[in-house]
Homo-oligomer: A and B are copies of this chain.
Amino acid sequence: MDKAEYNAFLSACPSHKLLERISGKWVALILSALGSGPDCAGQPRAMRYSELSRLLAGVSQKMLTQTLRSLERDGLITRTVVATVPVTVSYELTELGLSLFTMMRGLKLWAQTHMDDVFTNRVAYDNASA
């Protein structure tokens, strides 16, 4: 069956798997926070759960935890627990995660250069239909 073959192709395609990995609502933001620091312009550094929670003001606890876990699972960040009272947990980019963060700078550059054009086209298209 064609569909089965194609789904197999999709499952095997590295680009497709990368898109699935980075397309979550909070993935890019967490990588950006850990890669650029809270001011979005500094050096990579570890951040605590509460610090991330405050920086990404719109994130729910569920999604923050879930996204952090999945990034840890994929070896993109590390999770470090210090047994203070109360407990202290910090997250930091791995080498692999840093490499992903760096790659996404290219994506960011394209976005900054061209997304305005995209949205201009979108508005024009909608006006033409109306």
**Docked-complex contact B76 and A118, CB < 8 angstroms:** yes
**Docked-complex contact B6 and A75, CB < 8 angstroms:** no
CB distance from A91 to the nearest CB of B (A): 15
Complex: A28 Cα to B14 Cα, angstroms:
12
* CB-defined contacts of A74 to chain B, threshold 8 Å: 118-119, 121-122, 125
Consensus secondary structure, chain A interface: helix
8 Å CB contacts to B: which residues of A68-117?
72-76, 96, 99-100, 103-104, 106-108, 110-112, 114-117
Chain A residues within 8 Å of B, Cβ to Cβ:
2-3, 5-7, 10, 14-19, 21-23, 28-29, 56-58, 72-76, 96, 99-100, 103-104, 106-108, 110-112, 114-122, 124-126
